[in-house]
Structure 1
Amino acid sequence: MNAALDIDKPEKTKRSKRTTDMTTGSPAKLLFYFAMPLFIGNILQQFYNLADTSLAGHLLGDTALAQIGATAALYSLITNVAFGLNNGFALFVSRNFGADNKIEMKRSVCWAVLLSVISTILLTTSFLVFRRPLLTLLQVPADTMDGALSYLTVILAGIPLTMAYNLESSLLRSIGNSVTPLIFLVFSSVLNVILDYLFMGPFSMGVRGAAIATVTSQGISAILGLFCILRGYPELRFGKQDMKVSIHFVFEMFWTGLSMALMSAIYNIGSVILQGSINALGNVYIAAQVGGRRLAEFFYTPGIALGTSAATFASQNYGAHKNSRIKKGIFAAITMYGVWWVLAMICTFTIARSILVLITGSSDNTVISNGLMYLKISIPMIPPMAVLVIVRNALQGMCHSVAPLLCSALEMIGKIIFAVFLVPVYGYVAVCVCEPVTWVVCFLFIMGATLIFRADFRDPDKL
């Protein structure tokens, strides 16, 4: 009798307690609890990025700092492409989770894995083959080239591990679990800092050691993540029968992943080109950008957490045909970012100089002053960026991929204009002004797109 009753229960009652159904309950509360582990995880991510920079500066000097910094934009491009692809694939899982469609959900997981493997092979091969021309294109100074190439080669060889970890985290987040990826990130961050110190210090491996530390820590986390999913999440397991889908299904999933990857890639291509113009200014400005950018990225962390949360929230509710909840979620996410922005402003105009000295390990006043100028121009302009990031991700979750992609293209065009025409004339000041200007332009664009799609923020039965 009990077994029969269990079979008749709705699927939602059988879901693991470690998943979160975001189609019911307070949007603000759901987003807060979902975004908080992501936020903490991003803080930790920034922490060990800062640890890389700080340990390199303190243990190896300004030259090593410039060698790592010269490849920073390219490394961000790679990691953001991986993040975008896997998040895009996982949106299908999230949408079917919200719609309570177990069969389509398993098919989505299956093809998310297959498409991620294919993408990994293409990305790793392409970047390894063209790594030297890419550094030449970035105008890496001659005295920095060998160290930068050594660091980058190891990072590129580790792309499969980066992709695996990102895919596992994306799949877990798609079913409302943002805590488990945080646990693995905590482990990875601590291990990375320890290995950084050992490889760049006692083992005397130079900047190559920093790259090996990063790849090793990500690889171990990827292995642990796979074990966790196979053992504890039947929702994410699939069989051979789940490969049987239509070509249209595969194409739509690939396009969604590609559009999110392109959204990140186009933005980062602009950053890579801008990095080239910074590299042309010399090692002092490279080091200043490393310090200022690392601290700025710490202040940008809610954007990643809340943007990812908004995409998952929108995707689940879109699948459940509860579109009106998406608008409430967007407002809640923007409000949360606003609170953090106030704290970021206080920090920028009080203790940021001291933090920059700690991050860079540099005693050069030119390095510190320029890094501080970057912060004082960028951080006050976070509000339009916050709206841009959250709304853009929510639209992706609602199957609107073209407008966010065009928005990212605008960002790239803006950075190219600054890199080619303004930085050579106005120097590092133009670098500092570049992103705030592009944020405002893209904010206006995405709000216009939202106005066009305003009907999608109403429940289908009320149209």
Structure 2
Amino acid sequence: MKDLTQGRPMKLIILFAIPLLLGNLFQQFYNLADTRIVGQFLGKQSFAAVGATSSLNSTVIGFLNGLTTGFGLVTARFFGAKDKEKVKQTVAATLTLGFITAAVLTLASLIFLDPLLRLINVGEDIFAESRSYIGIILAGMSVTMCYNIAAALMRAVGDTVMPLIFLVVSAVANIGLDLLFICAFGMGVEGAAYATLISQTISVGLCIRYMFTRHRELLPSRRHFRFSRSLAADMYAQGASMGLMYSLVSIGSLVMQGCINGFGTETIASHAASRKISEMFMTPFSVFGAAAANFGGQNYGAGRMDRVRKGFYDATLLAWGWAGVSVLANYTLAPFMIRLITGMDNQFITELSTSYLRFNTPFYFILGIVIVFRNALQGIGVKLFPVISSFTELAGKLLIASLLAPRIGYTGVKISEPFVWIVMAGILSVGFFTNKELKQVRGPRRAPRPARV
């Protein structure tokens, strides 16, 4: 356990973030390895088939990830308030609400899978492969939920090291299974999907074993599962708010993916490659946001609003530092990175992907504000401004997909995200700088209050 209510905020955020950052970067690495194996051994069409479903996958999985993250923030606030009984009650509620939601989403997504794929304009030439791949991934949604719950609860009590170790084991297994299923067994894109699920299952098993041996303070007893309407409402308000925030972002990407899927296989492959790289560089922003949220959650529970405010500023400075690194890397290494992850020396794909990356990365300084402020406000229970900003992102992408992209092509897609980032940063800045509690110098120690708008 790591108490984030004592010590220098910058140091605590960095120590909290490093294992989380390494874990996320390692996850991106094995996703890139997965992509490279598909592109090199199965070819451009299979690469495009997997890429065409990425936004749908992100939308569904993103909601679950946001949901469990929100649940974890409620746990973090009670942990900061040193209320052990409430911590166990929130863990019990997390398990109950999480698995009910996962079951409903799994059933719904599989029933409506074909209409969803047609809605995002997946071409007939790649439809069968896309359906096979994403169908397997969505069927294993409960496995993803298990890992997300375990990781969110461990983060809530300040433990980010062990989830990193389990993720490394999972990543190595995933790459090995990819090579086995795709190269040795000839299972195609289905092999890549099964490799992902099996490796996630390994990670879940390790997390559960560790929590039963080292984090028994998180384990609820039967009495903690007694239904509490007020606690369930509080947790689902926070969790659904985070889940909605994550999924609205992904729905916006889903809308754009439908637009991109109409531009042809090479453009789909190009966008999939550039998104893989941009997601890798965006990962640290999400980590700093998660660190700010958990730091804010614990200190909010302890009534230390001065530390909450300082932590938010420090996380933003870290995000800006990474933005500078991202700009430098993409302006010097983009073509090399594109060829590396695709396993192809296709001039069209390389040039289009490079132009996307070089246009977007200078706006990462704005993106850093968006991600840190959005997560940080959720960490102290403020839901309205983060959700408004996510709706704004969705509306902006809908507008661009319907009006701009049909007229100027892929250039419209390329400029969409920087445009919405600027608007979102303005909305979140208003929410941050007008928040009365964040203006407090130091508040009294108190129990966490229900999440609010």
Aligned partner of 2:400 in structure 1 is 418
Letter in 2 for 1:229: M
Q: Partner amino acid for 1:424?
A: P
Q: Which residue of 2 aligns with 1:174?
A: 156
Q: Could you tell me which amino acid in structure 1 is paired with residue 260 of structure 2?
A: I
* Pairs within 5 Å for 1:291-310: 291-310=273-292
Other-structure match for 1:16: none
User: Counterpart in 2 of 1:290?
Assistant: 272
Root-mean-square deviation (CA, aligned residues, Å) is: 1.2
Cα distance in 2 for partners of 1:248, 1:265 equals: 25
- How do 1:194-209 residues align onto structure 2 when only pairs under 5 Å count? 194-209=176-191
2:293 to 302, 305, 311: 311
**Deviation (angstroms), 1:79:** 2.2
Match 2:351 to one of 359, 364, 369 = 369
2:433 aligned residue:
451
Percentage of identical aligned residues: 37
Structure 2 residues without counterparts, runs of 5 or longer: 446-453
2:305, 2:437 within 8 Å by CA — same for their partners in 1?
no
Measured against aligned partners, the alpha-carbon deviations of 1:89-123 in whole angstroms (never above 9, x if no partner) come to: 11111111000001111111110111111111111
TM-aligned CA deviation for residue 456 of structure 1:
3.0
Structure 2: distance between partners of 1:195 and 1:379 = 33
* Distance in 2 (alpha carbons) for counterparts of 1:78 and 1:368: 29
Residue 284 of structure 1, CA deviation = 0.8
The one of 198, 220, 228 equivalent to 2:202 is 220
In 2, Cα distance between the equivalents of 1:420 and 1:141? 19
1:165 aligns with 2:147: yes
Match of 1:148 in 2: 130
Within-5 A mapping of 1:261-410: 261-410=243-392
Residue 460 of structure 1 corresponds to 443
Does the 8 A contact of 2:308 with 2:438 survive in 1? no
Deviation at 1:255, TM superposition (A): 1.1
Q: Deviations over 1:266-290 (max 9, x none)?
A: 1111110110000011111100001
Q: Structure 2: how far apart are the matches of 1:461 and 1:253? A: 23
Measure the CA separation in 2 of the matches of 1:219 and 1:415.
Answer: 35
**What is the CA–CA distance in structure 2 between the aligned matches of 1:33 and 1:457, rounded to whole Å?**
26
1:330: how far off?
Answer: 1.2
TM-score, L = length of structure 2 = 0.96
Q: 1 CA distance for matches of 2:256 and 2:223?
A: 47
Give TM-score scaled by structure 1 length.
0.94
> What is the CA–CA distance in structure 2 between the aligned matches of 1:188 and 1:234, rounded to whole Å?
23
Which residue pairs with 1:184 in the alignment?
166
Aligned residues of 1:70 and 1:275 also touching (Cα < 8 A): yes
Partner letter of residue 435 of structure 1? Answer: E
Give the structure 1 partner of residue 449 of structure 2. none
**1:60 alignment partner AA:** L
Deviation at 1:454, TM superposition (A): 4.0
Q: Deviation digits for residues 374-404 of structure 1, max 9, x if unmatched?
A: 1011111001110111111111111111211
Q: After superposition, what is the alpha-carbon deviation per residue over 1:315-362, rounded to whole angstroms, capped at 9, x for unaligned?
A: 000000001111111111111122222221111111210110111122
Question: Paired residue for 2:240, among 254, 258, 263?
Answer: 258
Aligned residue in 1 for 2:448: none
Partner of 1:247: 229
Report the equivalent of 1:5.
none
Give CA deviations for 1:213-269 in whole Å, capped at 9, x if unaligned: 111100111111111111211111111111235311111111110010000011111
> In the alignment, residue 226 of structure 2 is paired with which amino acid?
K
The answer on 1:106 being equivalent to 2:88 is: yes
For 1:182 and 1:122, the matched residues in 2 are separated by 29
Q: Distance in 2 between matches of 1:278 and 1:291?
A: 13
- 1:280-316 CA distances to partner (integer Å, 9 max, x unpaired)? 1111110000111111111111111111111100000
CA distance in 2, matches of 1:247, 1:90: 18
The CA deviation at 1:461 is 4.8
For residues 163-205 of structure 1, give each alpha carbon's deviation from its aligned partner in whole angstroms, at most 9, with x where no partner exists.
Answer: 0001000000000001111111111111111111111111100
- Cα deviation, residue 61, structure 1: 0.7
SS of 1:21's equivalent in the other structure is: coil
> Is the Cα contact below 8 Å between 1:93 and 1:109 reproduced in 2?
yes
CA contact (8 A) 1:93 1:174 kept: yes
1:78 CA drift (Å): 2.1
Unaligned runs of 5+ in 1: 1-18
One-letter code aligned to 1:137: L
Q: How many Å separate the matches in 2 of 1:378 and 1:270?
A: 17
Name the amino acid aligned to 1:326.
V
Contact 1:94–1:316 (CA under 8 A) maintained in structure 2:
yes
Find the counterpart in structure 1 of residue 21 from structure 2: 39
> Paired residue for 1:7?
none
**Deviations 1:121-162 (CA, angstroms, capped at 9, x unpaired):** 111111111111100001001101000000011101110000
CA contact 2:73–2:297 (8 Å) conserved in 1: yes
The residue identity in structure 2 corresponding to 1:33 is L
Contact residue 370 and residue 428 of structure 2 kept, 8 A: yes
Aligned length: 444
Matching residue within 40, 48, 54 for 1:58: 40
